Structure 1
Amino acid sequence: MFPAHQITTLLVSLTLPVIFQFLAPGSLPAAQPPRPNIIVIMADDLGYGDLSCYGASEIETPNIDRLAREGQLFRQGYCSASTCTPTRFSFLTGMYAFRQPGTGIAPPNATALIQPGTPTIASVLDDAGYETAVIGKWHLGLGEGKEPDWNGDLKPGPCEIGFDHCYLLPTTNDRVPQVYVDDHRVVNLDPNDPLWVGKTNPDGQPTGLTHRDTLKMDWSHGHNQTIHNGISRIGFYSGGHAARWRDEDLADKWVSHSARWIETHKDKPFFLFFSSHDIHVPRMPHERFQKKSKLGYRGDAILELDWQVGEVLNTLDRLNLTKKTLVIFCSDNGPVLDDGYVDGAVTQLGKHTPSGVFRGGKYSAYEGGCCTPFLTRWPGTIPVGESQAIVNTVDLATSMAELVKQPIPEEAFPDSLNVLNALLGKPDAAGRTETVEQGTSALGLRVGDWKLVAYRNKKNNGKTFEKTSEGLYELYQLDKDAGESKNVIEEFPQKAEELINRLEEIQSAPTRD
């Protein structure tokens, strides 16, 4: 007699082969990778030609290059607009910003542009069980009513649209106030020194106009109101002195706060929107980066941005999260040199080409305004290589919902397409066939290799109208003319009419199926 446990083992060994021979090939469920952590790193004003992995020869960006070396580099990665507020709005909501009035470049006292109850990439991932945070630049308004309550609770804000935590630069650095916001409150605010933000100069305080000779960075246009940290800004504010920070310390704050947050939430899936301020003006990187490039403060800020990316990657390495984390790197719009300050960006440019082969940059509807660096990395899942797929930051909301298999609310993310397979570098994965590029005075529409630029008519002295271009519409063949140097609208009027009609359709109705 065999012992009972040996009989059981014998029966199992005889039965399993019989069971498996009746299973059809492929009937066993394929192993699915676990839901990854997701980090979106969004640079500010970074151009297609600003990184060494995209061909820059005058500056080295080894940490961002590491993302390219270990993942997918997109040759046709877009943001949805060529300025910061509308791109960030579209990234979060999956909706082109031109659909909502008031989503231009937000002023210092802007209140929340995304209202509670609006589905966002953060709210969908939060519903899927993710811990969610945004750390860095916000510039989408805080609070409600006529203006934010800087001395009280800044609600609504990120924490009302899906983020569990936020640590913010509330506007953008060239706009007041220069304070941090932790969830709903200004950090280190002394109630005996209340913070006031407005459009008029309180008590005749020094400005960039009246005390220009005291500035450590001169202004070139605008940016000449309240002086803080030796730099004049857009807008006025007073009080809140204990809460104010130095420009030079911003990058370190984003890195240290992000590292702590990641470590605290490493045991659950998390979504981090790491929203760097670099390389936006005023470009005043930490002293350890100043004069380290040959491209002036703009180049130094690129080095500081690259360091921030490296620190995020090092945190993932240290916590053994690298293979568990999808990292997406992008920019909120294309490059600009003189954006209001005298910082060497123009005079020390040398051979550097911030937009690469493209025409235009920030504010523009040409390719240089919205075709920017775009990288994805998820070791073990995303293969190494380059992609020609057209992807857009507006697509991240739907694509990340698909990644984690979380249903999205009906009518949510109307302009956001599922381009997940392209983001994951799957062979022959389709991206977009068309994308809108929102400039400040024009809209661009790319369909395949054709590109329409549609200018708005501009009021002149409030009475007459003038065109902002030699023609209201321009047409380009990007496969033959990536730099958009030859307007072929007279050669292909039917193609122009086709794209004009398609742009009107998109403007009147959402694009998602």
Structure 2
Amino acid sequence: MHTFLRLFLQTALLMTAGLSQAAVTPPKPNIILIYADDMGMGLLGCYGESLVKTPNIDRLAEQGVMFTRCYSSQYCCPARASLLMGVHDSHSKSYSETPGGLVITAEKQGWSNEEFEQKAARRAGIKPTPQEVFLPEMLKKAGYVTAQFGKLDWGFTTWHGELQRHGWDHYVGYMDHVRAHGYYPSFLWKNGERLPLEGNTHADAGKTPENYSQGATEKRRGNREGKVTYAPDVMLRETLKFMEENRKKPMFIFFSTNLPHGPVDILPAENVYAGNPEIRKAYANASGGNKECGAAAEEYASMVDKLDRQVGAIVAQVHKLGLEKHTMIIFASDNGHEIYYRTDKGRGRGLDYHGGVVDKNGELLDIFRGNRGKVGLKNAMVNLAGLKWTNHEGGIRVPMIVSWPGTLPHGKVCHGLVANYDHMATFADLAGVRMPEGKDAVSYKNMLLGKPGKLRDYIVIDHTIITGDGWKLTMKNGQWLLFQISRDPEERNNLAEKQPKQLERLQAIYKKEAGSPRKDR
């Protein structure tokens, strides 16, 4: 009898332990990837911004993991192609960069949806092979319902057939990334059909000129004809609706907003930084005291505020639906910072620009220091070199924050090396599916959880090699540039001649990867 009781109790304890384990093991999580447009680390409070407040994004960092060594491409198309394909952007003939502006032409010439579809498909260059697997396609096969909102895919022009091929169940947004530079399109695309936006009449979506001459602010703010409905509001509304309707299914949501990409434009009622004393004071000496540039800077800050509030709305919807412990939210950006509130932003392109004083008069090119960031092991503020459109650190090192309450640690700072194309491998891990063959992605799941795992030896971004042990190699104007960015994140000291062994090591990787064919081709 005693033996029977002992066996019974042991069996009961094992069953109880199994139930307990099942209760704490998270199910296949919802994945929400929020992808900002042209947002450097320095624009976020959690990475050191002081003028512009980003409380909702900062809260994600407080409740999750903030990365300091995440890299993406120097502009939107290769960044988004890499992300959705799980491969680096430096392969030969890996993806097509289609010309933009086709939707603008379609509206001006009155094309039907079918005409647009045919002409857009004819613009395509490289066609995906049958074995190519895209990120949403992979997750769809894993049982996820997939949706994209904002700048659709990588463009610059996409179409319904391509979006279906990539695995999207649902989408709302811009098929033309050139048109996405305006915030008041007459329509967005929703699952192959046109979604009209009330009161909007501009074929180019009401794109604002980057003009800061006298009277430019009055013209920009005062001329509201045909500019009534702000497209990001519609895309957010559609996102929240999708979450409500699909709350009982595993969801993958790619919120690929065009905020805060310029030219600057915000609804007058939401220009919350208009007349902001801190910005006005900071701009007193900037651009020779050009008030027009200062006014544009205020509007740009309001666009960042708008994005932050939209992030807050998505998080609030997750909580409202009771999904906070079953949802991982990733905030990232397609590339580094761009200056949309000056006419001389080209001065920020080179290695000689570090976000600080640019002339003998003590003038700041960028009052927000958007290319700055907390990047060192001591989390110190660093002025990175360059801006968007460069492969300097300010152009390709981007923010990345991951939050998953109940599963990930709070307030952790991760210095591990990550590339934007690593999302695919990580999401495969989370979804419990095998990673497709021929990809470059490496999962960062163990980094998130603080578990031991194989770290990256290197990543490849824009014909640039960045190693896990802190070295960076690229070529410019026929010259090798070698930096030890673990000690010199500002890229001030080219060590190509002083470190021949390191140069040789990284040159071997460069020659292997830059311009290489895809592994599955």
Q: List per-residue Cα deviations over 1:148-193 (Å, max 9, x = no partner).
A: 7xxxxx4323222111001012223237993311111232399xxx
2:471 to 430, 447, 450: 450
Corresponding residue for residue 166 of structure 1: 171
Distance 1:127-1:284 versus aligned 2 partners, 3 A rule: same
SS at match of 1:372: strand
Q: Distance in 2 between matches of 1:361 and 1:399?
A: 28
Q: List per-residue Cα deviations over 1:113-152 (Å, max 9, x = no partner).
A: 7748531111111001111100111263488xxxx7xxxx
Q: Distance in 2 between matches of 1:296 and 1:195?
A: 24
SS at match of 1:77: strand
Conserved in 1, the CA contact under 8 Å of 2:100 and 2:156? no
1:405 to 432, 438, 452: 432
Corresponding residue for residue 190 of structure 2: 182
Q: Shift of the alpha carbon at 1:101? A: 5.9
Distance 1:264-1:207 versus aligned 2 partners, 3 A rule: closer
Q: Distance in 2 between matches of 1:280 and 1:405?
A: 35
Corresponding residue for residue 367 of structure 1: 393
1:16 to 1, 5, 8: 8
Which of the two has greater helix per residue?
Answer: 2
Give aligned-pair identity as a percent. 26
Conserved in 2, the CA contact under 8 Å of 1:281 and 1:340? no
SS at match of 1:171: coil
1:75-86 matched pairs, under 5 angstroms = 75-79=68-72, 81-86=73-78
Q: Shift of the alpha carbon at 1:338? A: 4.0
Query: Is residue 332 from structure 1 mapped to residue 334 from structure 2 by the alignment?
Result: yes
SS at match of 1:495: helix
Matched letter for residue 353 of structure 1: R
Q: Shift of the alpha carbon at 1:13? A: 5.2
Q: Shift of the alpha carbon at 1:20? A: 7.2
Conserved in 2, the CA contact under 8 Å of 1:116 and 1:161? no
Q: Distance in 2 between matches of 1:492 and 1:454?
A: 16
Q: Distance in 2 between matches of 1:362 and 1:140?
A: 17
Query: Is residue 317 from structure 1 mapped to residue 327 from structure 2 by the alignment?
Result: no
Q: Distance in 1 between matches of 2:402 and 2:339?
A: 27
Query: Is residue 264 from structure 1 mapped to residue 229 from structure 2 by the alignment?
Result: no
Matched letter for residue 324 of structure 2: T
Query: Is residue 250 from structure 1 mapped to residue 245 from structure 2 by the alignment?
Result: no
Q: Distance in 2 between matches of 1:501 and 1:175?
A: 43
Conserved in 1, the CA contact under 8 Å of 2:181 and 2:258? no
Q: Shift of the alpha carbon at 1:73? A: 0.7
Q: List per-residue Cα deviations over 1:231-273 (Å, max 9, x = no partner).
A: 9xxxxxxxxxxxx984861221121111000000001110000
Query: Is residue 352 from structure 1 mapped to residue 368 from structure 2 by the alignment?
Result: yes
Distance 1:12-1:320 versus aligned 2 partners, 3 A rule: farther
Q: Distance in 1 between matches of 2:329 and 2:208?
A: 41
Query: Is residue 57 from structure 1 mapped to residue 38 from structure 2 by the alignment?
Result: no
1:416 to 436, 441, 460: 441
Q: Distance in 1 between matches of 2:226 and 2:165?
A: 26
| Structure 1 length-normalised TM | 0.75
Q: Shift of the alpha carbon at 1:15? A: 3.4
Conserved in 2, the CA contact under 8 Å of 1:76 and 1:388? yes
Corresponding residue for residue 301 of structure 1: 303
1:131-142 matched pairs, under 5 angstroms = 131-138=145-152, 140-141=154-155
Q: Distance in 1 between matches of 2:56 and 2:190?
A: 28
Q: Distance in 2 between matches of 1:490 and 1:142?
A: 40
Corresponding residue for residue 234 of structure 1: none
SS at match of 1:126: helix
Corresponding residue for residue 491 of structure 1: 498
- Give unmatched runs, 5+ long, in structure 1: 1-6, 149-153, 198-205, 220-228, 232-243, 456-466
Number of aligned residue pairs = 438
SS at match of 1:49: helix
1:197-276 matched pairs, under 5 angstroms = 246=227, 249-276=230-257
Corresponding residue for residue 375 of structure 2: none
2:460 to 436, 444, 448: 436
Query: Is residue 393 from structure 1 mapped to residue 420 from structure 2 by the alignment?
Result: yes
SS at match of 1:364: coil
Q: Shift of the alpha carbon at 1:195? A: 11
- Greater RCO, 1 or 2 (C-alpha within 8 Å, sep 6+): 2
Q: Distance in 2 between matches of 1:195 and 1:286?
A: 16
Matched letter for residue 17 of structure 1: L
Distance 1:49-1:393 versus aligned 2 partners, 3 A rule: same
SS at match of 1:482: coil
Corresponding residue for residue 32 of structure 2: 39
Corresponding residue for residue 87 of structure 1: 79
Q: Shift of the alpha carbon at 1:493? A: 2.1
Q: Distance in 2 between matches of 1:289 and 1:29?
A: 48
Q: Shift of the alpha carbon at 1:399? A: 1.2
SS at match of 2:90: helix
Q: Shift of the alpha carbon at 1:107? A: 2.2
Larger Rg: 1
Conserved in 2, the CA contact under 8 Å of 1:216 and 1:230? no
Distance 1:175-1:39 versus aligned 2 partners, 3 A rule: same
2:89 to 94, 97, 105: 97
Which range is displaced more, 428-437 or 354-363?
A: 428-437
Corresponding residue for residue 278 of structure 1: 259
Distance 1:177-1:55 versus aligned 2 partners, 3 A rule: closer
Query: Is residue 71 from structure 1 mapped to residue 92 from structure 2 by the alignment?
Result: no
Q: Shift of the alpha carbon at 1:289? A: 2.9
Q: Shift of the alpha carbon at 1:447? A: 4.7
- Alignment RMSD, CA only? 4.0
Conserved in 2, the CA contact under 8 Å of 1:366 and 1:453? no
Conserved in 1, the CA contact under 8 Å of 2:151 and 2:174? yes
Conserved in 2, the CA contact under 8 Å of 1:419 and 1:430? no
Q: Distance in 1 between matches of 2:223 and 2:321?
A: 39
SS at match of 1:403: helix
SS at match of 1:487: coil
Corresponding residue for residue 113 of structure 2: none
Distance 1:431-1:373 versus aligned 2 partners, 3 A rule: farther
- Give unmatched runs, 5+ long, in structure 2: 103-119, 280-296, 349-362, 373-381
Which range is displaced more, 258-267 or 393-402?
A: 393-402
